Amino acid sequence: MKSPIKGFSKLTQQGKIEWLVNEVFDGDQSVINTLKSYLHQDEKVQKLHNEFIENTITNYYLPLGVAPNFLIDGKLHTLPMAIEESSVVAAAAKAAQFWLKRGGFKTTIVGTEKIGHVHFMYRGDGNKLKAFFEENKNHLKDATDDITANMQARGGGITAISLVDKTSDMADYYQLDVRFQTCDSMGANFINSCLERLAETLTQTIESDNRFTQTEKQVQIVMRILSNYTPNCLVRAEVRCPIEDLSEEEGVSPHEFAEKFYRAVRIAEIEPYRATTHNKGIFNGIDAVVIATGNDFRAVEAAGHTHASKSGQYRSLTHCEIENGIFRFWIETPMAVGVVGGLTGLHPMVKLAHRMLGNPSAPELMGIIAASGLAQNFAALRALVTSGIQKGHMKMHLLNILNQLEATEEEKQLFVNYFKDKVVSHNAVVRKFCEMRDIPYSSMVKK
Ligand code: HMG
């Protein structure tokens, strides 16, 4: 970039692109064609996309795949999955097919409570504040009535407000801890609006209460914000079957498979290095459905990782048990997602994804997403404790390597056949490619 710019946001989309091409891409006009080629042909749809975020210059595509055969709580689902990584959708589909014949996934909604806080500083007598809060709790809640009326009509709203004394962690620090039910919405905007009103009412009411000294009246509101950690908005999904019903995998007997699988999960429960990769695999499945259904994957991930650390050490989100000959595998994770609001009613693909799932309620969607994470983890662990991850993963990745090499469709077909019974590696594909085109291997190796 040659120089900073002021007022970039005020430029038209065309103006932004021109600035970018000239200032960042040294005038390379081909960038314009690349950006334009990703614009939607329907202007109305493109306008929607332009307005989802700020400074939009084009669209960024992720493939939308589907994983059929997910039997969840007795209902057969095809899961929409938006993700860039090869083998994730295949792995989910394969695990779904496996558990379809063994009773499918069973889910439990442990809770749907969301949380938000007013973080504030109060310099004075803590007991006075506590007494004031008990007297004014209902008044604070009533002050949000105009914001919560619709949510209350749906059965939600503010369920509890408490004052938390955090002064042992930081001098003068208190919180209003507020609990919410947000029904079918994720509820972030609703929660934040309520918190802003609560903070305003808190300061005004203290200000007008003559029992407080001038210093005590100077309450400083630091922040009013929801917490993305939602330990009581929690879902469980599980699969189970007699050990004998676990089929033989790559020459590994059902009993040996169950034992190795159990060990693999235990390792992720006690070893943070492994737990991080293990949970990454779980989020392969979770994020893909969260993104496809227009939900906030950063929020879901953040809550999941905090939950994974709740013992003070980062651990696996899934667990396994073998008892009385029964293999049981389950996930428990927070899942704050919505089926109304946000992108859910706007993005054409998101709307389609919800339809694909039979327009579930938010709790149903929590269960579906948890099942997708569990399936993904089952597939990855199954591969890890039998053939190793590379065999299946690289089989799916083969086309990406061939696309990088700019192979023709005919060449791709030849390679798919050639590697049917061989383990794919980047090196093996490049060597075979050079051999086929009669070009020196050294010319393909990047310096
Ligand atoms: P396979 O046995 O070679 O597949 O497995 P198959 O050709 O016998 O087909 C069986 C079923 O798999 C198919 O049934 C599909 O459901 C699915 P069908 O549709 O034929 O009735 N399947 C496919 N679905 C769509 N497109 C395909 C396709 N191929 C198979 N092309 C497979 C191959 C990759 C599924 C298997 O090896 C597997 O599950 N591997 C695990 C892959 C994985 O976990 N990938 C995630 C990325 S790796 C990672 O990031 C996470 C990790 O580090 C996490 C961790 O360490 O825990 C691993």
SS3 113: strand
Residue 361: both structure tokens together: 């309620």
| Structural domain boundaries enclosing 124 | 114-226
d(CA 325, CA 244): 8
Query: Atom 51, ligand 1: which residue's CA is nearest?
Result: 281
Q: Same domain, yes or no, for 310 and 337?
A: yes
Q: Same domain, yes or no, for 103 and 118?
A: no
Number of alpha helices (DSSP H) and beta strands (DSSP E) in the chain: 16, 9
Ligand 1 atom at minimal distance to the Cα of residue 69: 16
SS3 240: strand
The values of phi and psi at residue 121, to 5°, are -110, 130
Ligand 1 near 90 CB (within 6 A): yes
Q: Same domain, yes or no, for 197 and 312?
A: no
Ligand 1 near 66 CB (within 6 A): no
d(CA 292, CA 63): 10
The count of domains in the chain is 4
Is the confidence at residue 18, as pLDDT, over 80?
yes
Pairing of strands 220-227, 75-82: unpaired
Catalytic residue among 77, 354, 393, 395: 393
Q: Same domain, yes or no, for 140 and 205?
A: yes
Q: Same domain, yes or no, for 33 and 105?
A: no
Q: Same domain, yes or no, for 42 and 123?
A: no
Taking residues 258-277, what's their average pLDDT?
A: 98
267 found inside a domain? yes
pLDDT at 1: 62
Answer for the pair 52, 29: CB distance below 8 angstroms, yes or no: no
Q: Same domain, yes or no, for 135 and 219?
A: yes
Is residue 296 among the annotated active site residues?
A: yes
- Structural domain ending residue among the three candidates 171, 204, 226: 226
Q: Say which residues have a Cβ less than 8 Å from residue 403's Cβ, sequence separation at least 6.
A: none
Ligand 1 near 282 CB (within 6 A): no
Q: How many other C-beta atoms can be found within 10 angstroms of the C-beta atom of residue 290?
A: 25
Query: Atom 6, ligand 1: which residue's CA is nearest?
Result: 94
d(CA 400, CA 86): 8
Of the two residues 344 and 110, the one the predictor is more confident about is 110
55 found inside a domain? no
Residue 129's alpha-carbon distances to 161, 169, 315, 325, in angstroms, are 14, 18, 39, 57
SS3 123: coil
pLDDT at 446: 60
d(CA 238, CA 329): 6
DSSP state letter for 9: G
Q: Same domain, yes or no, for 12 and 123?
A: no
58 found inside a domain? no
pLDDT at 416: 87
- Could you tell me the end-to-end alpha-carbon distance of the chain, in angstroms, rounded to an integer? 27
199 found inside a domain? yes
Taking residues 237-253, what's their average pLDDT?
A: 90
Catalytic residue among 85, 165, 196, 411: 85
Q: Same domain, yes or no, for 251 and 214?
A: no
Query: Atom 52, ligand 1: which residue's CA is nearest?
Result: 281
Ligand 1 mean position to 372 CA, how many Å? Answer: 14
Q: Which of 81, 83, 94 to mutate to test the pocket of ligand 1 (most atoms within 8 A of CB)?
A: 94
Q: Same domain, yes or no, for 148 and 27?
A: no
Amino acid identity for residue 442 in this structure: S
pLDDT at 46: 95
Query: Atom 58, ligand 1: which residue's CA is nearest?
Result: 380
Instruction: Supply the mean pLDDT for the chain.
Output: 95
pLDDT at 195: 98
Ligand 1 near 393 CB (within 6 A): yes
d(CA 331, CA 371): 8
Q: Same domain, yes or no, for 123 and 215?
A: yes
pTM given for the model = 0.93
Taking residues 208-214, what's their average pLDDT?
A: 96
Model confidence pLDDT, tens digit, residues 63-104: 999 999 999 999 999 999 999 999 999 999 999 999 999 999
Domain harbouring 152, CATH code:
3.30.70.420
Domain harbouring 362, CATH code:
3.90.770.10
Is residue 85 among the annotated active site residues?
A: yes
Taking residues 414-425, what's their average pLDDT?
A: 87
Model confidence pLDDT, tens digit, residues 376-398: 999 999 999 998 888 877 878 88
pLDDT at 447: 42
Ligand 1 near 277 CB (within 6 A): yes
d(CA 400, CA 425): 12
Pick from 52-61, 203-212, 237-246, 416-425: least confident: 416-425
Q: Same domain, yes or no, for 250 and 379?
A: yes
Catalytic residue among 184, 269, 296, 301: 296
d(CA 412, CA 425): 15
SS3 186: coil
Residue 233: strand pairing partners = 112
Q: Which burial class, exposed, middle or buried, applies to 383 when counting CB atoms under 10 A from its CB (0-12, 13-18, 19+)?
A: buried
Answer for the pair 214, 117: CB distance below 8 angstroms, yes or no: no
CA atoms within 13 A of residue 4's CA, in its CB half-sphere: 1
Model confidence pLDDT, tens digit, residues 127-167: 999 999 999 999 999 999 999 999 999 999 999 999 999 99
2 found inside a domain? no
d(CA 48, CA 94): 35
